[in-house]
Structure formats: structure tokens, C-alpha cells
A and B are shown apart, each in its own frame.
Chain A
């Protein structure tokens, strides 16, 4: 899967596309691990092109939160579609992974 990674200096943006599942999720998590190891711990995942997320996808995002926060950073998600928001809400993960309406909103203090 194309992760759509762009390094913006103060943070790194990912814009994955299509199904965010057990194929794509480990790739993203691995990239985030590499970035954090290289000292970049602010990560934004722009979900506007993701039409389906499964539990593996959620796992990668949660794993990303853990590893970035440990280094004083954070992982944020923005522009989630209906299915993604429904799944985040069902599992109550929106409590720690509240989706920002837009990428600009998510970046307001970065």
C-alpha cells in the first residue's frame, strides 16, 4: 500500500488510501517506529482516502500513539470517513484517538 508519507519538518503526514487493514497496518506501524527512532515523534494520519479500517488498522494507530507519546510526541488522525468514525466510536477508541475534522485542525499547534 502507498502510505503517502510527507515529511513537513515539524511533523510527518501519512495519507494512506483504500483499505487500512492487516496488509497496510504493519507497514505504517513500521514506518512510525523508524521515524520515532530517528527523533520524529509527531505524526498525523490523514484518513480522507481510507474507506475501510479493520481492527489491525486500529491496532497500528494505537501502537503509533504509544510509541510517539513515549518520545513526547503524538499521533493524530484527521478527516476520517463514516466507517472509520463508526469503528472508532464503537470501540471507544475515539476517547484517545479523537479524529480532527481536517488536517489543518489537527496541525493547529504543531
Chain B
């Protein structure tokens, strides 16, 4: 079939991995119509993708072997009393061979593009006829599914936008290996990390700024606020030191945080890769450490998050990152699975301090560990270390499921 917007969209939805959300619709359809088979079929360029089904295998078949590729071109329910008696369908494999279906009724489902992308259908092994009320019910079910699909597509898109805002390239500064990853609890979330190169306001040269922010709450609403905090902090960071940048960010975002009953923790560091000199400000985040085989130390301050009833001075503190040390910043989604305890952090550190591990591998280990221990919150990790010579590199990975 020639590609169309609807078919492109069907391919994208079929491969998005969120299709199991629609199982409840096929279960409903099966129960309402007492049919042995119910399915949601998406019609792509060359294939029909059965993404949710009962009584029929999920998967992919050639589009011309399907009934739904005809329904998808229509605007209303297509009902076929007996497929064997219909020249369009009498020869397709599901009619001539197992499960030898006879009856078909399907309702086309529209996607974001405005074109139909698939069909919710019921099949029976004996010929039958739907009553007027039954046809209406099938149409209603299709409309409900259409709404669910559009909500899910919006959420997936929002998650993608948020993911694309994460840094993807190595920072343009020598002497650093860095990696970060966010695993939101939903499609989008309130966690983010960031890194970028700034000119030191004292004229001392280039510095790498790294950020881990956590806006209270989860989901799309938290992600909107996180995008704002990220953008505002980026803007202010270009012109001033990190303490001042956080204070200005708090002032600039105050209305929006207050109006939405949100606050955001922030951990911001600014590193000179050549010397390891590290300035940092901890705005209620508390989850940054410098670790090595020799042990670990926390980089924390007593300041409040931004968006609180009082504004703190957020004055920067200083440390030095030695060449054999890692800077590790995580979100509370990680800390939660460690029982909110630094004793647990210490007990787990050995698993990531193997010098043979890259920053990307360390970040992956932290995130995988948290997810496999049933983290319910967004999970984020940012890891960096100094490397000798100009061979700076980064392999950021970020993913949503």
C-alpha cells in the first residue's frame, strides 16, 4: 500500500511499545460481543500489526491478508456477515485456514494525523449479524480507544521532547569523561540532568557546569516545570557564578513554582577539569558524592530547594576532584531503593568503583539497579571524572519505557 500519514503513524505506534495498554479494550470488546476473537490491528505500510488481542496471536501479517486494511479506509463500522461469502475476503489465510473465521465487525480508529491508523475488531467462527445497538456499542468503544490512543501519543511525544533536551554531546572542554541517564517513572517526569561549558565569571577560563534537578512530583506536569527550571538556570549560568545563578533562578521561577505548589531541588557543580577545582551549591538535593577506592564524601549544604517560602543565599562551597575520583549525583528515586540511607549507599559503592568501568557503564548500573529494585519515582544518575590528555568523551544514554 502507498505510504500515507496514517500508515506512518500506525508503524510508529506499533513500534512504540505502549500497545499493551490497549489490552483492556480488546477484553471489553470480547466480553460485550461474546466473540472468541477480538483484536486491535494497526495498518502500516506493508503489514498489519496486531498489538492487542484475545484468541488471535499478536504480531505482524502481510497487510493484504487482513480484513482490517479495508475497514481502515472507511469512516464507520464494517460488518461482514460471512467472510466466506465475501469475494474480498474469502481467500485470506484466516478464512481458508485456522482459525477459519466467518464473522467480522470492525471500527476504524483515527490517529493524531487525523487519518485512520487501525481497527478494533471482533471475529467469530460462525456467521452472525450485529443489532443496531451492538453496532453503536462497537462504534463507542472505537471512539474511547481513539481518545486513549491520542492521550498516549501526546504523552509519548512529551517524553521524547524532554529526552531530547538532555545533553547528547560531550561537553566542549578537555579532560572530562561524563555520562547521565534519566529513567522517568512515567512517559515524562520532574528529574533532569544537564551539562554545558561556561566562561568563569572571574575570567579564569572555561568551566564545566553540571546540574541535577528534581521537581517535586511526577509525570507531565512536573516535566513542564523541570523544563522551565532547566532553561532559566542555563540562562543565568552563562553570566554569573553558580550560587548567584540559583538565586536568580529561584526569583525568576518563583511565580510559576508557587502557583503550581511545586518546588525543585537542585545540585549544581562547576568544575575546572585542569585542576579539579569544584564549586558547588546544594539546594536541598543532598545526593552528590565524590567517591574512590579510598572512600567517599558528601557534597551537601543546608540550603532549601527553590520554590520554598524563604529564599536562601545559596552560597557556593568548594572541593577538589582528584584524578582517581568520581563525582556521582543521583535523584531520590535512587536513594529510595537504598532505604534513604547513606549506610546503604556505602555498602553498594563497590559495585561501581571498578576503575575499568566507563562513566556510561556506571550510570547504567545505578539506573538498572534502582529500576530492578522497584523504584517508583523517576531515577536519574550523573557521573563524571577527570581524564588526562585531551581525550574527553561522553556517551550519554537516556531512555524512556
Contact = CB atoms under 8 A, between A and B. Distances in A.
Given A90-B286, A91-B286, A92-B302, A55 B332 contact: yes
Contacts of B261: 29, 59-60, 62-63
A96 B309 contact: yes
Contacts of A55: 190, 214, 216-217, 332, 377
Contact of B308 (A29, A60, A62, A87): A62
B303 interface: yes
A29 B262 CA distance: 12
Contacts of B310: 96
The binding surface of chain B is classed by DSSP as: loop
10 contacts: A54-B376, A56-B217, A62-B307, A83-B340, A86-B341, A91-B265, A91-B304, A92-B305, A93-B304, A95-B304
B229 to A, nearest CB: 14
Interface string A54-80: 111011101101100100000000000
Given A56-B217, A92-B304, A96-B304, A62 B263 contact: yes
B309 A62 contact: yes
Contacts of B309: 62, 65-66, 69, 96
Interface residues of A, number: 22
Nearest to A57: B216
The binding surface of chain A is classed by DSSP as: helix
Interface in B327-345: 332, 335-336, 340-341
Nearest to B261: A63
Given A55-B332, A55-B377, A96-B310, A86 B340 contact: yes
Given A69-B309, A86-B341, A87-B340, A92 B303 contact: yes
A54 B216 CA distance: 8
A90 B340 CA distance: 9
A92 B340 contact: no
Contacts of B91: none
B218 interface: yes
Contact of B258 (A22, A66, A69): A66
Interface string B282-316: 00111100000000000000111101111000000
B135 to A, nearest CB: 39
B216 A92 contact: no
Given A55-B217, A62-B309, A66-B309, A95 B302 contact: yes
B248 to A, nearest CB: 20
Given A22-B218, A90-B287, A96 B308 contact: yes
